[in-house]
Amino acid sequence: MTPETFTLPFEDLLLSGATIGADATHAPVLMSLHGGGTARHTGVHYLMQPLAEAGFPGVAFDFSGHGDSSGQVQGSALNHRVAQARAVASHLAMRPPLALIGTSMGGHIACRLIEHSKPRALVLFCPAAYSAEAETVPFGPAFQQVLRGTTDFRASPAFDALETFEGRLLVVYGDEDTVIPKAVQQQYAERARRARCVEVVRLPGAPHRLHGWLESEAQAAARQHVVERMIATLPP
């Protein structure tokens, strides 16, 4: 399936992304939320394609300052990314039951959308978590200072939201992930107390940058396994 690109005005920005498998009569049912650094929405197309072929049309977009979206990363914030995701969902007429796919920082964003979007499934790749203070601090030196000062992640708003989640949860980690603290990984496994089911997949030899690793030809078996677990997690 060929991705269909779109551009959406948001505040003083233009957000760019693509839908895969959606059309005029079938809105996306999956939304992918990428992480920080140099991430962009095209990094998950290798997963969105087989999911669309299995009957789950999706959308992935670039947060401001990433990929083809306008703006700068510095000056934006976590709560700004939550608002951008809500704007994209509204633009594409996405309605619950919605499944969210979050990677790294996008995992926190996905959890913060639980109350608004009421997803029936969450698929999180090496999800991060942040303090309440970090949600409004602009990305840049001040944000990094807040991160360095966070020693207890249990009070993260991501985990408070996760405790209200009643759908299916799939969390995928690389065994060689040196970015996400073990304390955060433990909270993601334990705080979804009301979830219909929780599955944790650990990929031997995989680093934090899971998508680049999974997309490689050498990891075809691991990639197929992840796709199968995602399909099993998504709403019927």
E-state strands within 21-175: 30-33, 58-61, 99-103, 121-125, 168-174
Q: What is the mean pLDDT of the chain?
A: 95
Tally of domains within the chain: 1
- Give the residue-averaged pLDDT of 3-13: 96
Domain range enclosing 45: 4-233
Per-residue model confidence (pLDDT) at position 236: 74
Per-residue pLDDT tens over the stretch 201-227: 999 999 999 999 999 999 999 999 999
For the stretch 3-10, contacts whose Cβ atoms lie closer than 8 Å and that sit 24 or more positions apart, written own/partner, are: 3/45, 3/48, 6/91, 6/92, 8/61, 8/87, 8/88, 8/91, 10/64, 10/83, 10/84, 10/87
Here the CATH number for the domain that contains residue 178 is 3.40.50.1820
* Geometric angle at alpha carbon 208, from 135 and 186, rounded to 5°: 65
Per-residue model confidence (pLDDT) at position 26: 85
Per-residue model confidence (pLDDT) at position 235: 82
**Are the C-beta atoms of residues 64 and 13 closer than 8 Å to each other?**
yes
Q: How confident is the model at residue 61 (pLDDT cuts 50, 70, 90)?
A: very high
With H, G, I as helix, E, B as strand and everything else as coil, classify residue 5: strand
Per-residue model confidence (pLDDT) at position 96: 84
- Give the residue-averaged pLDDT of 76-81: 97
Per-residue model confidence (pLDDT) at position 25: 82
Per-residue pLDDT tens over the stretch 64-75: 999 999 999 998
Per-residue pLDDT tens over the stretch 137-193: 999 999 999 999 998 899 999 999 999 999 999 999 999 999 999 999 999 989 999
